[in-house]
Structure 1
Amino acid sequence: MADFDTADERGEELETLQSIYPELILDQRHPFAATIDLEVAPTKPLPVSFDDETTVHRLSYLPPLHIEIILQDGYPAERPPSVQLSTSWLNPMLLKRLEKEAVIQWDEYGGMQMLFSYISYLQEAAEGAFGLSDQCAQEPLLLPQYLKGDLLDYDEKMGREKFEKETFDCGVCLEPKKGSTCYRLKKCGHVFCKACLQDGYNSCIKEGDVNNVKCMDPDCGKSSGQKKERLLSPKELLQIPLDVETVKRFANLKRKKKMEADKSLVWCPREWCQGAMRTEKYPKITDVSQMDDSEPEDDVPAEPAAEDEKKPRGAMNIDRLVICEDCTLAFCRLCLASWHGNFQWCQSREPSELTKEDQQSLNFISQNTTPCPTCSIPAQKSYGCNHMTCFQCKSHFCYLCGAWLTPSDPYKHFNNPNNKGCYMRLMDLDTGDEANGGVQFGGARGAEQQAAFWEREAMRIQMEEIGDDSR
């Protein structure tokens, strides 16, 4: 503290003021100058929007009001205090009006000490955001875009600091916890300790119960008449915090649930894919940390438009072309066949139905390939021995019967006399099986081979009987 002459009223007033406001800083270069930053925390959050956007942000904390005070010679009897106010977000005209209030109060006090009264006036004005709360009852305060980052960061920082200093009773474990170990849910404001939130939400997401990733207060939303409790956003789950991979699973499960309830979507006809069609309505999730908190969590998928239902089946409609978001197959949304162009007539069919081309492809695969016993990926040999290694899962298996082989000794299978179907047949079809002739297979492929043989035999016998009857 500066060494003031106790007989000087200016020094006495600044000393008294500092005892009331410890944050008051006395200027060592000027014996009767001081600065103070007043906290601006409106009683009601101030609605604010920024240029070129419609989003309204409700700020509970705003950058402080910086006050510079200089008591010139003649204060308080002859001259008012010199006051200069500054802050990044208030209009300069409003700041000038607040500065003039110091002179008005000095006149009202009749040349007496009035700094405490003036600072108290500014504190009360800050609780109402200097009159802006009333003005913004209908329309939010419009501020320049360049202030957005600083104001939002400051509001979040101050809110977190205030929150961490308080003590709360967790709504789950019912124990008092410091704010630094708790989290306040954004939509409802209920407070729980982070450990309880993490245990509960991790369990729900692991079990696929995404509908329970919501506020854990059983009465949340009931008093306000809210019909459906809203789920937490992925962005908020990361702030609790939950593991990124867990949050990704939650976001994808929630997206899948919405898509499955949307009757306007079609799914890839490939059985091994079953991916959804590409759509802007449900974009693929790439970064959960950037998913908007304002996203509607429980929106109901729209029903297909009545006009779409009235469109004639097989009409030349460009909307028939859709692309699978997973395997990129281009197919027709009506007949579910590979894309055939807009000028070919087709009719709708169920996803479980196979087209003629699909059935032929499936028959060829079952009759001319051996599936991996681990992942079922079909394999067709072009040359070499019958010891196969799956290109996808790296499993070792026998090409003749589809049996799984021991990786450390795969050739034991072909040397075992008990394996009658494969014994001493390691090099069968060494040039490929495109023309296998009478080569016998085992396993699933052998069953297909036998079925095809007896189907041909049945047809031959039937034709012979028809020929005998005609004679």
Structure 2
Amino acid sequence: MAEFPPDDERIDELTTLQSIYPELVLDFDHPPIPTARIELPVAPEKPLPVVCDSDSSVRNLSHLPPLIIDIILSEGYPTERAPTFNLTADPPWLPDRVLEQLMEKGHALWEEYGGMQMLFAYLSFLEESARTAFGAADSARDGVLKLPDTLRTPMLELNEKLGKELFDKGTYDCGICLEPKKGGACHRIRHCGHVFCKACLQDYYNNCIKEGDVNNVKCLSPDCGKTGDVKVDRKKKDRLLSPKELLQIPLELETVKRYAQIKRKKKIESDPTIVFCPRKWCQGAMRTEKYPKITDVSQMDESDIEDGEPVAAPKATDQEIKFRGAPNTDRLVICEDCSLAFCKVCLAPWHGDFERCINREQKDLTEEDQASLNYILKNTSPCPTCSVPCSKSYGCNHMTCFQCKTHFCYLCGAWLQPENPYGHFNNKKNKACFQRLMDGAMGDQANGEIRFGGRRGAEQEAEFWEQEALRIQMEELGG
């Protein structure tokens, strides 16, 4: 540095610039040309949409690789010669045309300033441009920046790393316990950005998964996803957290496995095209690519079909059901658990394509199957929308179906308005349920006989008269 003149304007400008940008690295060891380097963070105000060559899914990145700026001040700067700027990014995510435009802007600024010092103005311009990712998406096709596959992994990893570092430094109010917590003790829900402390999330999600209530493993903010339009919000399904995100909170691996298995089981059971193994000791589902067996939950990062609603499966037509026994139809299925090959129509072990078979009917049920069906009819109230059987252990008679979120009356099975479900129990026209909101508050088994309506009431009445007829018959025989 001693070889530079003491009144060199270049040295003075770079030293002053370093006081503003402490991260600026100066190099005065190679006179007569001083140089400097600075890495400019790139965190656009609006996430940059990117897509890779072999992956059509768009990823929105909030943190991008920094822009590396090399500044070279030749003799004659600033009055006679323009500074030289060399801009790069590592990994190289910015298109060459964008980098060239940014470097040309530096030369244009020097001309605009009329041979005066302009390094601070140029860095200020680059900082401002970084808020829009230097217009990389604006100049790209359809507003999405296309990257080669080699950049996909490093870009995603860097985005996650920088985002976490910034988040950990902040302080946030937990949306559950309402206490301020450091970012390292909190988790930000990926799809909506709401923040909760990890301890509260672990307590709640562990309990939900333990009880099998996987449809409530979602953001706990009451306003999450709400638009303000009651009709729209009523139809909108909650978005569930992915297994990969639960592991990041973190939840125990076995707990997350249970969560993924229950979700898969619910989807399979709600799909009318899935049949189950006829072996009583197995009863596993048929193999299907629609619901592949879970092998590694740490890689399950789907953003959902995981929205809490059953997968919409195509219903078989009457013609398909009638003629499934004909040749060239797909009747052969294999159990995913015991590998039994059987016919999906008659449930018998596989008999070949050319043997005609028919669907199993009610009379073909085993004694055990019939006993289970009778118990369900007698002791549960079905959801009026999806027919899932419901049994109450405690609470009022306003029910919400776990499967489809329908509001209904536990006593008579009627649909209830989500905005005013309790009006049903205050309406004198509903004679069977009027002022009976808390009937059986301690559960079906704790309050003796409860009068029901609908299908369950019919089963209850039929059983009563059957027992009454038996009592009268016994009295006559005794008399």
TM-score by shorter chain over 0.5: yes
1:83-102 alignment to 2 at 5 Å?
A: 83-87=85-89, 88-102=92-106
C-alpha contact 2:277 2:284 (8 A) present in aligned 1: yes
1:292-331 alignment to 2 at 5 Å?
A: 292-298=301-307, 299-306=310-317, 309=320, 311-312=322-323, 314-331=325-342
- Secondary structure at the counterpart of residue 60 of structure 2: strand
- Secondary structure at the counterpart of residue 347 of structure 1: coil
Structure 2 counterpart of 1:148, one-letter code:
R
1:54-453 alignment to 2 at 5 Å?
A: 54-87=56-89, 88-136=92-140, 138-223=142-227, 225-226=232-233, 227-298=236-307, 299-306=310-317, 309=320, 311-312=322-323, 314-350=325-361, 353=364
Q: Residues 29 and 350 of structure 1: is their aligned pair in 2 closer, same or farther, counting only changes over 3 Å? A: farther
Q: Structure 1 CA distance, aligned partners of 2:104 and 2:318?
A: 66
Q: Residues 351 and 37 of structure 1: is their aligned pair in 2 closer, same or farther, counting only changes over 3 Å? A: farther
Q: Percent of aligned positions with the same letter in both sequences?
A: 62
Structure 2, unmatched stretches of 5+, are: 367-479
Where does residue 33 of structure 1 map in the other structure?
35
- Secondary structure at the counterpart of residue 193 of structure 2: coil
> Which stretch has the larger CA shift, 183-192 or 295-304?
295-304
Q: Residues 6 and 238 of structure 1: is their aligned pair in 2 closer, same or farther, counting only changes over 3 Å? A: same
Where does residue 14 of structure 1 map in the other structure?
14
C-alpha contact 1:44 1:133 (8 A) present in aligned 2: no
Where does residue 46 of structure 2 map in the other structure?
44
Where does residue 394 of structure 1 map in the other structure?
none
C-alpha contact 2:284 2:336 (8 A) present in aligned 1: yes
Q: Residues 297 and 352 of structure 1: is their aligned pair in 2 closer, same or farther, counting only changes over 3 Å? A: farther
C-alpha contact 2:172 2:180 (8 A) present in aligned 1: yes
C-alpha contact 1:190 1:215 (8 A) present in aligned 2: yes
C-alpha contact 1:46 1:136 (8 A) present in aligned 2: no
Q: Structure 2 CA distance, aligned partners of 1:50 and 1:221?
A: 29
Q: Structure 2 CA distance, aligned partners of 1:347 and 1:164?
A: 62
Q: Structure 2 CA distance, aligned partners of 1:310 and 1:256?
A: 24
Q: Structure 1 CA distance, aligned partners of 2:253 and 2:152?
A: 27
Q: Structure 2 CA distance, aligned partners of 1:314 and 1:107?
A: 84
Q: Residues 321 and 309 of structure 1: is their aligned pair in 2 closer, same or farther, counting only changes over 3 Å? A: same
Residue by residue over 1:8-54, the C-alpha shift from the partner in whole angstroms, topping out at 9 and shown as x without a partner, is 21111011100000000011423521110111111111100011221
Q: Residues 232 and 183 of structure 1: is their aligned pair in 2 closer, same or farther, counting only changes over 3 Å? A: same
Q: Residues 340 and 190 of structure 1: is their aligned pair in 2 closer, same or farther, counting only changes over 3 Å? A: same
Q: TM-score, normalised by structure 1?
A: 0.72
Flag the structure with larger Rg.
1
- Secondary structure at the counterpart of residue 177 of structure 1: strand
Deviation of 1:305 after TM superposition, in Å, equals: 3.6
Residue by residue over 1:417-469, the C-alpha shift from the partner in whole angstroms, topping out at 9 and shown as x without a partner, is xxxxxxxxxxxxxxxxxxxxxxxxxxxxxxxxxxxxxxxxxxxxxxxxxxxxx
C-alpha contact 1:184 1:190 (8 A) present in aligned 2: yes
Deviation of 1:100 after TM superposition, in Å, equals: 1.8
Deviation of 1:303 after TM superposition, in Å, equals: 3.4
Deviation of 1:137 after TM superposition, in Å, equals: 8.3
C-alpha contact 2:98 2:136 (8 A) present in aligned 1: no
Structure 1: 4+ residue segments shifted above 4 A: 1-6
Q: Structure 2 CA distance, aligned partners of 1:85 and 1:58?
A: 24
Q: Structure 1 CA distance, aligned partners of 2:301 and 2:113?
A: 53
- Secondary structure at the counterpart of residue 136 of structure 2: helix
Where does residue 416 of structure 2 map in the other structure?
none
Q: Residues 351 and 264 of structure 1: is their aligned pair in 2 closer, same or farther, counting only changes over 3 Å? A: farther
Structure 2 counterpart of 1:17, one-letter code:
L
C-alpha contact 2:345 2:357 (8 A) present in aligned 1: yes
Q: Structure 2 CA distance, aligned partners of 1:110 and 1:312?
A: 87
C-alpha contact 1:84 1:99 (8 A) present in aligned 2: yes
Structure 1 counterpart of 2:225, one-letter code:
G
Where does residue 468 of structure 1 map in the other structure?
none
C-alpha contact 1:313 1:348 (8 A) present in aligned 2: no
C-alpha contact 1:183 1:193 (8 A) present in aligned 2: yes
Q: Structure 1 CA distance, aligned partners of 2:188 and 2:363?
A: 48
Deviation of 1:166 after TM superposition, in Å, equals: 0.7
Structure 1 counterpart of 2:356, one-letter code:
W
Q: Structure 1 CA distance, aligned partners of 2:143 and 2:318?
A: 39
Q: TM-score, normalised by structure 2?
A: 0.71
> Which stretch has the larger CA shift, 248-257 or 214-223?
214-223
Q: Structure 2 CA distance, aligned partners of 1:352 and 1:267?
A: 18
- Secondary structure at the counterpart of residue 36 of structure 1: strand
Q: Structure 2 CA distance, aligned partners of 1:241 and 1:162?
A: 19
Q: How big is the alpha-carbon RMSD for the aligned residues of Structure 1 and Structure 2?
A: 2.1
Q: Structure 1 CA distance, aligned partners of 2:67 and 2:191?
A: 29
Q: Structure 2 CA distance, aligned partners of 1:259 and 1:4?
A: 77
> Which stretch has the larger CA shift, 96-105 or 154-163?
96-105
C-alpha contact 1:47 1:136 (8 A) present in aligned 2: no
Q: Structure 1 CA distance, aligned partners of 2:154 and 2:362?
A: 53
Deviation of 1:318 after TM superposition, in Å, equals: 3.7
Q: What is the count of residue pairs matched by the alignment?
A: 355
Q: Residues 307 and 84 of structure 1: is their aligned pair in 2 closer, same or farther, counting only changes over 3 Å? A: farther
